[in-house]
């Protein structure tokens, strides 16, 4: 089975850019330390500093589910509640 790829696009609402960025930066180190995490990289859109993309790779859906239950991920959800628009794609490589 191929790795589970997650592409999360997070756009901070006006006035929340710094708060959203700091919350995203805090979640990276503990997420990378998780056993099922293969990649967890935060990017910023050079044309829109309110827009972030998190590129993630997980061993499988169970690893992603475990990640979503961690305190650091739950803290991220709380910190960003209502302060950003979030779109999430879950992908498997075809070729």
pLDDT of residue 72: 98
Domain edges within the chain: 4-92
Q: Determine the 3-state secondary structure of 66 from DSSP.
A: helix
First to last CA, the chain: 12
Q: What is the pLDDT of residues 55-92, one digit of tens each?
A: 999 999 999 999 999 999 999 999 999 999 999 999 99
Fold that domain 4-92 belongs to in CATH: Alpha-Beta Plaits (3.30.70)
How much is the pLDDT for 2?
78
pTM, entire model: 0.93
pLDDT for the residue 33: 98
Give the per-residue pLDDT at 95: 84
Phi first, then psi, for residue 46 (nearest 5°) are -65, -20
Written as six digits, the tokens of 17 are 């850019």
* pLDDT above 80: residue 1: no
Q: What is the percentage of the chain residues whose pLDDT exceeds 90?
A: 95
Expressed in percent and rounded to 5, the helix, strand and coil fractions of the chain are 35, 40, 25
Q: What is the pLDDT of residue 3?
A: 92
**Contact status, residue 8 vs residue 91, Cβ threshold 8 Å:** no
Report the alpha-carbon distance of residue 40 to residue 2 in Å, rounded.
Answer: 17
- Across residues 36-51, what is the average pLDDT? 98
């Amino acid at each position: 089975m191929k790795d589970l790829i997650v592409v999360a696009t997070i756009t901070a609402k006006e006035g929340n850019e710094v708060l959203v960025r700091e919350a995203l930066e805090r979640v990276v180190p503990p997420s990378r330390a998780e056993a099922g995490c293969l990649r967890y990289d935060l990017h910023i859109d050079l044309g829109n500093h309110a827009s972030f993309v998190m590129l993630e790779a997980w061993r499988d859906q169970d690893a992603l589910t475990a990640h979503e239950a961690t305190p650091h991920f739950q803290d991220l959800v709380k910190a960003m509640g209502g302060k950003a628009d979030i779109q999430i794609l879950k992908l498997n490589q075809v070729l």
